[in-house]
A and B are shown apart, each in its own frame.
Chain A
Amino acid sequence: MPPGAPLLEVEGLSVSFATAGGRLRAVDGVSFSLTQGRRVGLVGESGSGKSVTAQALMGLLDAPGVQVEGELRLGGERLTATDERRWRTLRGNKVAMVFQDPAAALNPRMRVGEQVTEGLLVHQGLGRAERRRRAVELLTRVGLPDAGVRVDAWPHELSGGMRQRVCIAMALACGPQLLIADEPTTALDVTVQAQVMALLARLQAETGMAVLLISHDLGLVAEWCDEVMVMYAGQLVERGPAARVLTRPRHPYTAGLLASLPLPGERRERLVEIPGMVPDMRAPPSGCRFNPRCPRADERCRAEAPAWSEEAEGGHRCHLPLSEGT
């Protein structure tokens, strides 16, 4: 792969599920690319499609009733949702994932050391002693206290923060080029969240991997990411450098999200509300999907779905974007 070429390219990704109430299009025409070594945040509320997008990037959507369209290229290689054999080689080796709930991500009946090196066994065929040595090494690298002892611990003997460290060690065991972290600290306390994000920052810098951080927390994304993508109702509505998107958003939804947050040191009488709620994806609004909640919406927004507008750095999906200067 030539230097500077995108590590991951996603073009027109759409995912729909068969449900009792009809077909639900959870992700609708999402396109973006990720460059090696970048930290990119994917922000959205529940039902925005951010986690389904992540599952598509891990090849985890090959199931009855699920339809995946669009193109995915990882390191230049074109991938389809159904090539499970190929995905099995790529998962762990090229792209790995850390989930919100470390308790659910670990096998409760397997000692943590064995889980951490399970991938190594599959991919590199190591012996037992070597495997254990590697496990201690990996657990030490993620800052698990007393790794030499805890390598033999069961998941339930560890705290939530320690379990998430084990999951991170597991994800990084085979040196992936892309790590997808889906709400990795949402289930953790705020002081432990700070530890885990500091750990991910250190590992990202050491390995030069790209990280896609999926989160509902704009604060976390602001602090941690170089770039931000915002999803609403299955679509990407804004993308750009974190410092720009979070100070001068172009899309009214991004602006609304920012305004609705209580900010440290700036107490206001009332928080700015985004009226209404996220749409039912079985029957999304016509025109722009945000129009029923948007303070700027006019006739055109109600009638015509905005196309993606590419800008110098990033872009947006809005007929009436906020001006760049403000």
Chain B
Amino acid sequence: MKGDAVTAPHPSPLPEERGASRASPLLRAEALHKRFSVTPSLLGRARGEVHAVSGVSLSIPTGTTLALVGESGCGKSTVGRLVLGLTRPTSGRVFLGDDEVTALSGERLRRLRRRMQMVFQDPGAALNPRMRIADAVAEGLLVHHPQLSRAERQARVAALLERVGLRPEAGQRRPGELSGGQRQRVVIARALAVEPELLVADEPTSALDVSVQAQVLNLLMELKAERGLTFLFISHDLRVVEHVADRVAVMYLGRLVEEAPRETLFARPRHPYTDALLSAVPDPRPGRRRARVVLDGDVPSPLSPPPGCVFHPRCPLYARLTEGERARCRGESPELRTLDDGVPSAHVACHFAERM
């Protein structure tokens, strides 16, 4: 690969985020907020506002993977879109290296986007059904490397298809002639074509069969090692996350509730929600599962989140607190903080995390 895309990471001009490792981050998101207004619907609901993302800060060191975890509607995919500049935040800033994504628009944003690519859950929807695979992969090259000759472009496309495990003949096919796993390989090849530094992968294996999921995960991990790629890996599947992540951030109702190194988070979750999520993961080895914490109820509507800590109505820890302590959970929204437990790189947003 040519070296033009591999920019050396610059030292951060701003004070380091809490939780960032000492290596300078490739991606930084600072206090992101995103509100969507909800128009009156046929169901007669009042006009309102959904606070989809509430004060989320992230920092991903170059060459590492941050997994963003949560259930549907928690705001994780919106964070992915904010990072890519596909959606504008209501407030907050996103930096890729020294460049502020949130300050750019038009042509300058398009140029920056070459450095960050995406892989989504449904590879069928991501590909134009009428475009041949080779043309789909070459598209980004045409936009970002117009100086390449036709032959150079074809050679690059062939090399990319081979790298993601597709035969050269696949280039002449159309998406409908490929399986789901093959289509996801095409999407990955297309993303790699422009030599990005950051890959945002939103549920990249959720639509794939179990036997194919392992192939795609292995491919992504190889590419990370081989090209020094940095990943924002968005997933609801904690088994996959434990396999791919260096750090893990857990979201609930638009907020980060915990952010920690992978081993720390899986070995000893500090937030009661993380604990419940981990215990709900089915384990194929009979008798090997954690003691299950079954949460009551559903995730509340983001239209009217509970006051104070948004998790308190479902929190198993809340049930064990005194009335005075509970008043604090209901009245005061907890900030992310470190505990005095010898793991300064783990952050949790819970007033009573010490009781876990």
Given contacts A256-B211, A277-B181, contact A243 B286 (CB under 8 A): yes
A242–B43 Cα gap in the complex (Å)?
46
B297 in contact with A145 (CB, 8 Å): yes
Contact between chains at A190 and B211 (CB < 8 Å):
no
Among the listed A145, A191, A222, A272, which residue makes an inter-chain contact with B283, where contact means beta carbons less than 8 Å apart?
Answer: A222
Complex Cα distance A140/B267, Å?
37
B294 contacts the other chain (Cβ, under 8 Å)? yes
Asked if B284 and A261 sit within 8 Å, CB to CB, the answer is yes
Contact partner, A190, options B181, B217, B277, Cβ 8 Å: B277
Picked from A45, A162, A242, A267, the residue with its CB within 8 Å of the CB of B242 is: A267
Stretch binding the partner chain, chosen from B76-84, B118-126, B232-240: B232-240
Q: Which of B179, B213, B294, B297 contacts A260 (CB 8 A)?
A: B213
In the complex with contacts A189-B236, A191-B276, A257-B298 CB distance below 8 A: no
Interface of B with A (CB < 8 Å)?
43, 71-72, 179, 181-182, 209-215, 217-218, 221, 236, 238-240, 242-243, 266, 276-290, 292, 294-299
Q: Does A246 contact B (CB under 8 A)?
A: yes
CB proximity of B322 to chain A, nearest CB, Å: 26
Contact with B along A265-284 (1 / 0, CB 8 A): 10110111111011000000
Query: Once the chains are docked, how many angstroms separate the CA of A268 from the CA of B217?
Result: 12
A3 to B252, CA, bound (A): 49
CB–CB B284/A262 < 8 A: no
Given A45-B211, A273-B214: A195 and B295 interface contact (C-beta under 8 Å): yes
Complex CA–CA separation, A277 to B238 (angstroms)? 24
Measured CA separation A262–B211 after assembly (Å):
11
Q: Give Cα A157–Cα B209 distance, bound, in whole angstroms.
A: 32
CB-based contact B239/A264 at 8 Å? yes
Q: List 29 A-B contacts (CB under 8 A).
A: A45-B209, A46-B209, A159-B298, A189-B72, A189-B299, A192-B71, A216-B209, A218-B210, A220-B282, A223-B286, A246-B286, A247-B286, A261-B284, A262-B242, A263-B239, A263-B283, A264-B238, A264-B281, A264-B283, A264-B288, A271-B214, A271-B217, A271-B218, A272-B214, A273-B214, A277-B179, A277-B182, A277-B212, A278-B209
A219 within 8 A of B: yes
Cβ of A161 under 8 Å from chain B? yes
- Interface-central residue, B218, B243, B296, by most chain A CB under 10 Å: B243
